Structure 1
Amino acid sequence: MSEKVKQLPYEDNGEPEGLNATLTSPIAADGRPEPGKRYIVPARQGRAVRLAQGQRLKIINTYGSQVCDFWAFNASSPREFLSMEHLRTWLSRLTPVVGDPLVTNHRRTILTFLEDTSPGVHDTLLTSCDIYRYQKLGVEGYHDNCADNLRMALKAIKLRTAEVPSPLNLWMNNPVQADGSIGWLTPVSKPDDYVVFGAEMDCIVVMSACPQDLVPVNGKDCQPADLHFEVI
């Protein structure tokens, strides 16, 4: 006779470990943007945006040195989301390029990569920074982080994520070295470089202007900067 399977208690991963202005500064109560209006993602904060199928999102690296942690969720079923594991398998490549579909954990296209004025150096390997990352780096107390920015940006528009998927790290320069190690280099993008994504389904995207200020992923001065975006 088979034994009864014991179900482990479940607790979702949607609560931030601390707070910043992300929670109280949505672009709109429901996250719907005004087409053509330019919005800011302040340094160290995040913003959530609702995209309708067919809309295009332009993200601008205003100062050229800022990494943007980027997520996308199916608007009707947020348990389906842009997945880096599935994307690498789908593309047989570490990073997407213009023309590539960006696929979900259900192996469906949620966005298409339409334009990129930068040299195309982005990252799909590294997870978003979180409070534990900064504790390991010696930070005492709370430090803004991308995982919490995701949680807060969604909560700001009355949504919640049960987990923190690995992001598409736009402009992050972390090459895999010949010996298998990962480099921590500065971005090679320049001021006002931008990327454009086209929505292939109604979705919710979240952008975080990465708060990392202890390693030079946001430039050699380790100073996070603002990003801008618009729906076109």
Structure 2
Amino acid sequence: MTSVARNRLTEAAYQCLPGGPLDINRAFYDQVAATAVSAEALRTTVEKFILPIRSGKAWEVRKGDICRIVAVEGAQVGDLNIWSLHNPRERFWASRTRQLQRAHISVYDRLWSTLPYLRPLVTITGDSLKDYGINGSGIDAEGGRIHDLLGTRCDPYVNRMLTGKDNDYHCHSNLTRAIVPYGLTEFDVHDVLNVFQCTGLNDKDQYFMKTCPAKKGDYLEFIAETDVLCALSTCPGGDLSKAMWGEGSAESTNADPTLECCRPLGVEVYRLPDGWLVERGWKEILPNGTAYQGRHAMKEVPFSIS
């Protein structure tokens, strides 16, 4: 096998032609990001709140609005869910986003929705940790990267399985409580984007979680490509500097050493001036799935007897 062939086989499996849905207009999204530091008052505040430790909250972000998640007091992991506001069957699809974008996301990456809708729900426009790692490469000496899509939310069922004890404040439970006011249930909670979480795979191909490197003021922000409902949990492991399971964990010591690792997160939602986005060519991204008309080969097939 030639070196050219080997390189091809290790390139991204999902690609598209220039100008396709994976080839976004970076200059436009740079302009969106720049509205945060513009000398003019371009952004107006729609909503701001602080999410306390070990809790969850849901909120709406309208199409074209910008949402920023902030480490207001220092390192803290947040577990994020996103749905189409008007159709919660359409929700963020972590595994497809890993394939179309990457396993740890940053600026210009998009969070894609489930079938049969298949569209970007949001696009990342700002990330204060985008230059994390060795020489700004995004990866540290142990293979850790930020804003994780490899893992998912912690939950009370795994906790019970591993420890034999109950804990009602895992991210799955926090998100479940958060979405009740919107008529959703536990069955609507899905795989998450682990905001500020530093993870990777070790030499045994096993998932690891490192101490969160976020500092006070660090943020991740995105623009909503359609109306969305977001829900965020402040992880009960806090900055993940102490074990949640196994030797040395709270369950093994009958204490709660991770409590001191927990900090709140801030959420900020902003709106740009009327017409600002449209003047620059932006429009709501509609579902791609409607273009498919094959009905999975379930159309009536005529048969005849010869």
Band the TM-score falls in, shorter-chain normalisation: 0.7 to 0.9
Q: 2:171 is matched with which residue?
A: 146
1:79-118 equivalent positions in 2, closer than 5 A: 79-91=89-101, 93-106=102-115, 107-118=118-129
Hey, what's the Cα distance between the residues in 1 that align with 2:240 and 2:125? 30
SS at match of 2:205: coil
Do the aligned residues in 1 keep the contact of 2:211 with 2:240 (CA within 8 Å)? no
Hey, what's the Cα distance between the residues in 2 that align with 1:202 and 1:87? 19
1:138–1:84: structure 2 CA closer, same or farther, 3 Å change rule? same
Asked whether 1:66 is paired with 2:91, we answer: no
SS at match of 2:157: helix
Hey, what's the Cα distance between the residues in 2 that align with 1:214 and 1:57? 22
Hey, what's the Cα distance between the residues in 2 that align with 1:212 and 1:79? 29
Aligned residues: 198
Q: Which amino acid letter does the alignment assign opposite residue 151 of structure 1?
A: T
Q: Which amino acid letter does the alignment assign opposite residue 48 of structure 2?
A: R
Q: 2:289 is matched with which residue?
A: none
Q: Which amino acid letter does the alignment assign opposite residue 98 of structure 1?
A: V
Q: Which of the two has higher C-alpha Rg?
A: 2
Asked whether 1:227 is paired with 2:265, we answer: yes
How does the TM-score come out when normalised to structure 1? 0.77
Q: 2:11 is matched with which residue?
A: none
SS at match of 2:87: coil
How does the TM-score come out when normalised to structure 2? 0.59
Greater relative contact order: 1 or 2 (C-alpha under 8 angstroms, separation 6 or more)? 1
Q: Which amino acid letter does the alignment assign opposite residue 80 of structure 1?
A: E
- The structure richer in helix per residue is 2
Superposed CA deviations along residues 104-130 of structure 1, whole A, max 9, x for unmatched, are 113201000000012361110112111
Q: Which runs of 4+ in 1 moved over 6 A?
A: none
Ranges in structure 2 where 5+ consecutive residues have no aligned partner: 1-43, 133-137, 139-145, 245-256, 271-306
SS at match of 1:127: coil
SS at match of 1:63: coil
Q: 2:148 is matched with which residue?
A: 123
Do the aligned residues in 2 keep the contact of 1:104 with 1:110 (CA within 8 Å)? yes
**Seq. identity, %:** 27
Residue 179 of structure 1: CA displacement?
Answer: 2.8
Superposed CA deviations along residues 3-45 of structure 1, whole A, max 9, x for unmatched, are xxxxxxxxxxxxxxxxxxxxxxxxxxxxxxx935430111000
Do the aligned residues in 1 keep the contact of 2:77 with 2:239 (CA within 8 Å)? no
Do the aligned residues in 2 keep the contact of 1:187 with 1:218 (CA within 8 Å)? no
Q: 2:159 is matched with which residue?
A: 134
Q: 1:78 is matched with which residue?
A: 88
Residue 96 of structure 1: CA displacement?
Answer: 1.6
Do the aligned residues in 2 keep the contact of 1:67 with 1:217 (CA within 8 Å)? no
1:1-232 equivalent positions in 2, closer than 5 A: 35-91=45-101, 93-106=102-115, 107-118=118-129, 119=132, 121-138=146-163, 140-160=165-185, 162-212=187-237, 216=241, 222=258, 223-232=261-270
SS at match of 1:183: strand
